[in-house]
């Protein structure tokens, strides 16, 4: 009833899971990941305890195949389980139990495990792997995972239909303010086209919850500072800092006002010149 991809980034800095299903809130059950440790997807007749157990095994030094073997040895329901694991070094392992509903199966390659059950056919996981391989030059793991998920969806996905999707990516100090490892944690719990909606949310995540690159920063000189002050006052704010806090753009404007993200600058200008009332 679910198809997923578990992977490590090419640079070895990020791990993540993307998943979609005809199942309510699939992101609450399937994915788990810890930076520097690895990632897992547990599905079919999902044993959600696998998430904590697998990550614990990986953290203790087990490879993905060894962690998977331990999970299955200790679980009498193994024939009904489907699991994908990628470890710290990018070694991948996938399991599809003999009692999983057709079509069910998986593919593994360096740094990636792809699996699904109750699918339109093997072309779903085949297209996901092909999309993953085509995107090898893309540095953003979230984008690579989403592209693979979309390819599986376009190939037929879950034969029962669509309902939910989720995307989880971890990297050391990637979370809000650098205080945890959550780079992306997005869920579409109930939607007619969840993978497309997940892509929309990822765009918003990039805008609101990632820091500006040097190329995206516009230096604020005296003329731009004067313009910014005029724009925010026109919107009813005393200064740029107040507008930034209201609009949740803290990660894309310098605390001291020395630079502003080019996209945020465009948003501010558009808001200020939008007809009122």
What distance in Å separates the CA atoms of residue 194 and residue 200, rounded to the nearest whole number?
10
Helices (H), the chain: 49-59, 64-73, 123-134, 141-154, 194-209, 222-234, 240-247, 262-273
- Domain edge (last residue) among 209, 242, 265: 209
**200 vs 187: CA distance, rounded Å:** 11
Q: Are residues 205 and 268 in the same domain?
A: no
Percent with pLDDT over 90 in the chain: 94
167 within 8 A of 146, measured Cβ to Cβ: yes
Mean pLDDT taken over the chain: 96
Does residue 29 sit in the same domain as residue 129? yes
CA dihedral over 59, 60, 62, 67, signed as positive or negative: negative
Last residue of a domain, one of 161, 177, 209: 209
Lowest mean pLDDT among 10-24, 172-186, 259-273: 172-186
CB atoms within 10 A of CB 74: 12
Residue 2 phi/psi, 5° resolution?
-150, 145
Q: Are residues 232 and 113 in the same domain?
A: no
Residues 199, 241: one domain? no
Q: Give the residue-averaged pLDDT of 218-223.
A: 98
pLDDT value, residue 179: 86
Instruction: Domain of residue 230: give its range.
Output: 215-273
Three-point CA angle 192, 159, 19, nearest 5°? 65
Per-residue model confidence as pLDDT tens digits over 237-249:
999 999 999 999 9
In this prediction, residues 27-49 reach a mean pLDDT of 97
CA distance 127 to 150: 9
- Tell me: do 155 and 196 sit in the same domain: yes
Nearest Cα neighbor of 146 from 44, 59, 3, 19 is 19
80 lies in the same domain as 118: yes
Q: Do 7 and 72 lie in a common domain?
A: yes
CATH number at residue 128: 3.60.20.10
- Residues 198 and 219 both lie in one domain: no
Residue 162: helix, strand or coil by DSSP?
coil
pLDDT, mean of residues 86-115: 97
Is it true that the peptide bond before 68 is cis, omega within 30 degrees of 0? no
Domain identity same for 178 and 252: no
DSSP 35: T
Q: Does residue 261 sit in the same domain as residue 196?
A: no
**pLDDT score at 67:** 98
Please compute the mean of the pLDDT values over residues 146-153 and round it to a whole number: 98
pLDDT tens-digit readout, 157-180: 999 999 999 999 999 998 887 889
Q: 222 vs 226, 229, 267, 270, CA distance in Å? A: 6, 11, 20, 21
Residue 189 has pLDDT above 90, yes or no: yes
Per-residue pLDDT at 92 exceeds 70: yes
**What total number of domains does the chain contain?**
2
- Our measurement of the distance from residue 148's CA atom to the centroid of its chain's CA atoms, rounded to an integer in Å, reads 12
Query: Would you state the pLDDT for residue 277?
Result: 58
Three-class SS of residue 40?
strand
Given 184, 209, 234, the domain boundary residue is 209
105 shares its domain with 205: yes
Question: Residue 54: what pLDDT?
Answer: 98
pLDDT at 2 over 80: yes
Are 233 and 192 in the same domain? no
The span from the CA of 151 to the CA of 199, in Å, is 13
């Amino acid at each position: 009833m679910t198809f997923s991809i578990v992977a490590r980034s090419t640079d070895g800095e990020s791990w993540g899971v993307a998943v979609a299903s005809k199942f309510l809130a699939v992101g609450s059950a399937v994915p788990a990941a810890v930076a520097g440790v690895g990632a897992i997807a547990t599905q079919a007749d999902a044993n959600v305890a696998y998430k904590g157990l697998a990550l614990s095994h990986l953290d203790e030094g087990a490879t993905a195949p060894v962690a998977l073997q331990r999970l299955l040895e200790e679980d009498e329901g193994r024939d009904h389980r489907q699991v994908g694991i990628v470890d710290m070094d990018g070694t991948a392992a996938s399991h599809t139990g003999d009692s999983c509903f057709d079509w069910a199966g998986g593919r593994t390659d360096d740094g990636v495990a792809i699996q699904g059950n109750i699918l339109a056919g093997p072309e779903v996981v085949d297209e996901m792997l092909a999309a993953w391989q085509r995107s090898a030059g893309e540095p953003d793991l979230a984008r690579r995972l989403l592209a693979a998920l979309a390819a599986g969806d376009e190939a037929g996905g879950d034969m029962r239909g669509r309902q939910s999707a989720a995307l989880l990516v971890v990297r050391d100090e990637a979370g809000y303010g650098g205080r945890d490892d959550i780079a992306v944690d997005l869920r579409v719990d109930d939607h007619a086209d969840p993978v497309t909606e997940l892509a929309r949310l990822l765009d918003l995540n990039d805008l609101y919850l990632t820091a500006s690159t040097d190329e995206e920063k516009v230096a604020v000189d005296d003329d731009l500072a004067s313009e910014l002050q005029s724009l925010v006052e026109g919107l009813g704010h005393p200064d740029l800092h107040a507008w930034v806090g209201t609009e949740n753009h803290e990660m894309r404007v310098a605390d001291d006002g020395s630079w502003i993200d080019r996209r945020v600058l465009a948003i501010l200008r558009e808001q200020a010149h939008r007809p009122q009332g």
